[in-house]
Amino acid sequence: MMVRRKIHGSLISLLVLTLILAACGSDSTATTTSNTGSTNPAEVKGEITVWAWNVAAKSLEATVPSFNQKYPNVKVTVQDIGRTDVYDKLTSGLQAGGAGLPDVVAIESDRMDVYTSTFPDGLADLTSRASKYEKDFDPSKWAQSKISDKIRSIPWDSGPTGLWYRVDIFEQAGVDPKSIETWADLIAAGEKILAATDGKTKLLPVDIVADDAGFRMMTSQLGVCCYFNNDGKINLTNDKSVQALTLLKEINDKGLVANINGWDGTVAATKNGDVATVPFGVWYSGTIIDQAPDLSGKWDVMLLPAFEKGGNRAANLGGSTLAIPAATKNLDAAWLFVEHALATSEGQNIMMEKFGIWPSYQPAYSADLYSKPVAFFNNQPIWKLFADEIKNIPPATYTKDYAKGQAVLASAQAKVLSQGMDPKQALQEAAAELANQTGREIAQ
Amino acid sequence: MAKTKLSDELVPKPFVSRFQRGAIYLLLVVGAFLSLFPFYYMFVQASQPSSEVLRFPPHLWFGSAAWSNIQGLFANGFGRSLFNSAFIAVVYASLSVFIASLAGYAFAKFRFRGRSILFGMFLLVLMIPYHVTAVPLFQLMAKITLFGDPTWISSYQAVILPALANPFGIFLMRQSMQSLPDDLLDAARIDGAGEWRVFTSVALPTMRPTLAALAIYSFMFQWNSFFWPLIIMRDKAMETLPVRINALVGLSIIDYGQLMMGTALTTLPIMMIFIAFQRQFISGALAGAVKG
| A228, pLDDT greater than 80 | yes
SS3 B224: helix
pLDDT recorded at residue B231: 92
Residues of A5-42 as b/e, b for ≥16 C-beta within 10 angstroms? eeeeeeebeeeeeeeeeeeeebeeeeeeeeeeeeeeee
Per-residue pLDDT tens over the stretch B194-222: 999 999 988 998 888 889 889 989 999 99
Put simply, the answer to whether A23 touches B139 (Cβ < 8 Å) is yes
Banded pLDDT at A261 (limits 50, 70, 90): very high
| B291, pLDDT greater than 70 | no
Residue B168, domain member (yes or no):
yes
Q: Which of A14, A89, A105, A288 to mutate to test the interface with B (most CBs of B within 10 A)?
A: A89
Q: Kindly report the average pLDDT of chain A as a whole number.
A: 89
Residue B3, domain member (yes or no):
no
Which of A158, A143, A243, A256 minimizes the C-alpha distance to A206?
Answer: A256
B205 shares a domain with B108: yes
Give the number of other Cβ atoms within 10 Å of residue A126's Cβ.
24
Residues of A within 8 A of B247 (CB-CB) are 53-54, 80-82, 85
CA distance, residue A334 to nearest chain B CA (Å):
18
Angle between helices B256-276 and B278-291 (to 10 degrees): 70
Give the number of other Cβ atoms within 10 Å of residue B120's Cβ.
16
Q: Residue B230 is nearest to which of A88, A97, A272, comparing CB atoms?
A: A88
Specify the DSSP class assigned to residue B292. Answer: -
CATH number assigned to the domain comprising residue B198: 1.10.3720.10
Residue B47: which domain range? 14-69
Q: Which of B118, B251, B263 to mutate to test the interface with A (most CBs of A within 10 A)?
A: B251
Residues of A within 8 A of B138 (CB-CB) are 92, 95-96, 99-100
State which residue of chain B sits closest to A27, comparing Cα positions. Answer: B139
Residue B267, domain member (yes or no):
no
B176 shares a domain with B111: yes
Task: Quote the CA–CA distance of A305 and A307 in Å, as a whole number.
Answer: 7
The phi and psi torsions of A316 (rounded to 5 degrees) equal -135, 140
- The greatest distance separating any two alpha carbons of chain A, rounded to the nearest whole angstrom, comes to 90
Put simply, the answer to whether B247 touches A82 (Cβ < 8 Å) is yes
Per-residue pLDDT tens over the stretch B150-189: 788 899 999 999 989 889 999 999 999 998 889 999 999 9
Residues of A within 8 A of B232 (CB-CB) are 100
Q: Residue B248 is nearest to which of A20, A54, A267, comparing CB atoms?
A: A54
Give the residue-averaged pLDDT of A120-131.
95
- C-alpha gyration radius of chain B: 24
Give the residue-averaged pLDDT of B120-142.
87
B127 shares a domain with B29: no
The domains of chain A, with CATH numbers, are 41-159+318-374 (3.40.190.10), 160-317+394-438 (3.40.190.10)
Put simply, the answer to whether A5 touches B117 (Cβ < 8 Å) is yes
Residue B271, domain member (yes or no):
no
Put simply, the answer to whether A283 touches B252 (Cβ < 8 Å) is yes
| A443, pLDDT greater than 80 | yes
Give the number of other Cβ atoms within 10 Å of residue A173's Cβ.
19
Residues of A within 8 A of B51 (CB-CB) are 271, 290-294
Report percent pLDDT > 90 for chain A: 81
B45 shares a domain with B123: no
B206 shares a domain with B149: yes
Put simply, the answer to whether B54 touches A264 (Cβ < 8 Å) is yes
Put simply, the answer to whether B132 touches A95 (Cβ < 8 Å) is no
Which of A155, A387, A377, A280 minimizes the C-alpha distance to B251?
Answer: A280
Structurally, chain B folds into a number of domains equal to: 2
SS3 A298: coil
Taking an 8 Å Cβ-Cβ cutoff, which residues of chain B contact chain A? 50-51, 54-56, 76, 114, 116-117, 120-121, 124, 132-140, 142-143, 151, 153-154, 227, 230-232, 234, 236, 243, 246-256
Is the peptide bond preceding residue A225 cis, with omega within 30 degrees of 0?
no
SS3 A149: coil
Report percent pLDDT > 70 for chain B: 90
Residue B253, domain member (yes or no):
no
B36 shares a domain with B119: no
Per-residue pLDDT tens over the stretch A290-314: 999 999 999 999 999 999 999 999 9
B82 shares a domain with B51: no
Burial of B219: CB neighbours in 10 Å, binned 0-12, 13-18, 19+: buried
B178 shares a domain with B139: yes
Residue B257, domain member (yes or no):
no
- Residues for chain A: how many in total? 444
Per-residue pLDDT tens over the stretch A3-62: 444 444 444 444 444 444 444 433 333 333 344 455 688 889 999 999 999 889 999 999
B231 shares a domain with B112: yes
Put simply, the answer to whether A56 touches B251 (Cβ < 8 Å) is yes
Report ipTM (2 d.p.): 0.81
Residue B276, domain member (yes or no):
no
Q: Residue A291 is nearest to which of B54, B76, B236, comparing CB atoms?
A: B54
Residue B260 near residue B70 (C-beta atoms within 8 A): no
Per-residue pLDDT tens over the stretch B222-265: 999 999 999 999 999 999 999 999 999 888 889 999 999 999 99
Put simply, the answer to whether B247 touches A53 (Cβ < 8 Å) is yes
Give the residue-averaged pLDDT of B41-65.
92
pLDDT recorded at residue B82: 95
Report percent pLDDT > 70 for chain A: 91
Residue B278, domain member (yes or no):
no
Q: Kindly report the average pLDDT of chain B as a whole number.
A: 87
B65 shares a domain with B118: no
pLDDT recorded at residue A157: 94
pLDDT recorded at residue B229: 95
B229 shares a domain with B177: yes
Residues of B within 8 A of A99 (CB-CB) are 138-139, 142-143, 151, 153
Residues of B within 8 A of A82 (CB-CB) are 243, 246-250
Which of A372, A373, A376, A368 minimizes the C-alpha distance to A349?
Answer: A368
Per-residue pLDDT tens over the stretch A279-295: 999 999 999 999 999 99
Q: Residue A292 is nearest to which of B51, B135, B249, comparing CB atoms?
A: B51
Give the residue-averaged pLDDT of B118-144.
87
> Of the residues B231, B247, B263, which one is the last residue of a structural domain?
B247
CA distance, residue A20 to nearest chain B CA (Å):
7
SS3 readout for A349-415: HHHHHHHCCCECEHHHHHCHHHCCCECCCCCECHHHHHHHHHHHCCCCCCCCCHHHHHHHHHHHHHH
Per-residue pLDDT tens over the stretch A336-387: 999 999 999 999 999 999 888 999 999 999 999 999 999 999 999 999 999 9
Task: Quote the CA–CA distance of A151 and A7 in Å, as a whole number.
Answer: 54
Give the residue-averaged pLDDT of A177-193.
96
Q: Which of A16, A27, A53, A287 to mutate to test the interface with B (most CBs of B within 10 A)?
A: A53
pLDDT recorded at residue A60: 96
Residue type, A301: V
Task: Give B150's contacts (C-beta < 8 A, 6+ positions apart).
Answer: none
B87 shares a domain with B220: yes
State which residue of chain B sits closest to A21, comparing Cα positions. Answer: B136
Q: Residue A83 is nearest to which of B135, B154, B251, comparing CB atoms?
A: B251
Burial of A89: CB neighbours in 10 Å, binned 0-12, 13-18, 19+: buried
